[in-house]
Amino acid sequence: MPQRVGLVVHPSRNVDGPLQALERWAATHDVELIRLEVIGDQRPVSLAPTLKECDLFVAIGGDGTTLAAIRAASQADRPVMGVACGSLGVLTTVPANRVTPALERFRVNTWRPRPLPALEVTRDDGSTLLAFNDVVTVRGGQGQVRTTVHIDGVLYARFAGDGWIVSTPVGSSAYALASGGPLLAPGADGFTLTPLPTHGGFCPPLVAGAKSRLALETAAGYGGARLEVDGQVVDTRIGSVRIALRPNVVTIVDFADDEPLMTGLRRRQIIIDSPRILADDARC
């Protein structure tokens, strides 16, 4: 039975319905709710001692809001429940009108943990970052981004273009997929490198093993470039990074009857059947 729940709420979306359901459930079960403050780019501030004592983090909004809760939960080693206000995403598995049943299932321990890895990104100054979806370098203006990629110490490719995306398995269904990268099925161990449009040459997307190490040396043209982590700009100074996959960094609250990933991607028409197949169906 949770005693304290950390709460992250989308800053502008209408979340009154699921928020009120959560508040009623908390009052019924004498559960303390603690609102997590986030800064403007949806990154959580450092956790207060009371937040580190939370038994559960609940995010109400979308996948971006859930990522903010995930960052907080990774500091406290607690699970995250993502509530979708809109279409169900990859991380927001609870529909807005099912908040109370989901919380009850958590309370009586009929949920299942879904561990998520993160990308550990080490920069050339020795600082480290964690990415739960992806880390991206993208050009900021005119000119090319030049990148040299090594995997496990072996040269893979050198390319000039718009930049690159390195994604976790969950993140492979986001920016990387939209850019033509590979989709990692649930349960796959590994991470992906997707070059953004290149200016000549040939460098296909790469699936790296779970224990592989990527080293990327990147130089920007005169238009500059930026480094992004989980969709947020971290720096306009790029340079060299080393990237590895760290397993089991955070836990998502999952249920046996949740919508499968592939079903959700098809429902949202991210994956679409070819017109010939759809025409065959229409004739039946």
Q: Which amino acid is at 8?
A: V
Predicted confidence (pLDDT) at residue 98 exceeds the cutoff of 60: yes
Q: Which two tokens stand for residue 52?
A: 């580190």
- pLDDT (mean) for 120-125: 95
Digit-coded pLDDT (tens) for 203-245: 999 999 999 999 999 999 889 999 999 999 999 888 999 999 9
Q: Is 17 exposed, middle or buried (0-12, 13-18, 19+ CB in 10 A)?
A: middle
Sign of CA dihedral 19, 20, 21, 23: positive
Predicted confidence (pLDDT) at residue 165 exceeds the cutoff of 80: yes
pLDDT band at 75 (very low <50, low <70, confident <90, very high): confident
Catalytic positions: 63
Predicted confidence (pLDDT) at residue 43 exceeds the cutoff of 80: no
Work out the end-to-end distance of the chain between its first and last CA atoms, rounded to an integer number of angstroms.
52
Digit-coded pLDDT (tens) for 137-150: 999 988 899 999 99
- pLDDT (mean) for 30-38: 85
Position 41 scores a pLDDT of 46
pTM higher than 0.75, yes or no?
Answer: yes
Which residue segments constitute the domains of the chain, with CATH numbers given?
Answer: 4-111+255-283 (3.40.50.10330), 117-248 (2.60.200.30)
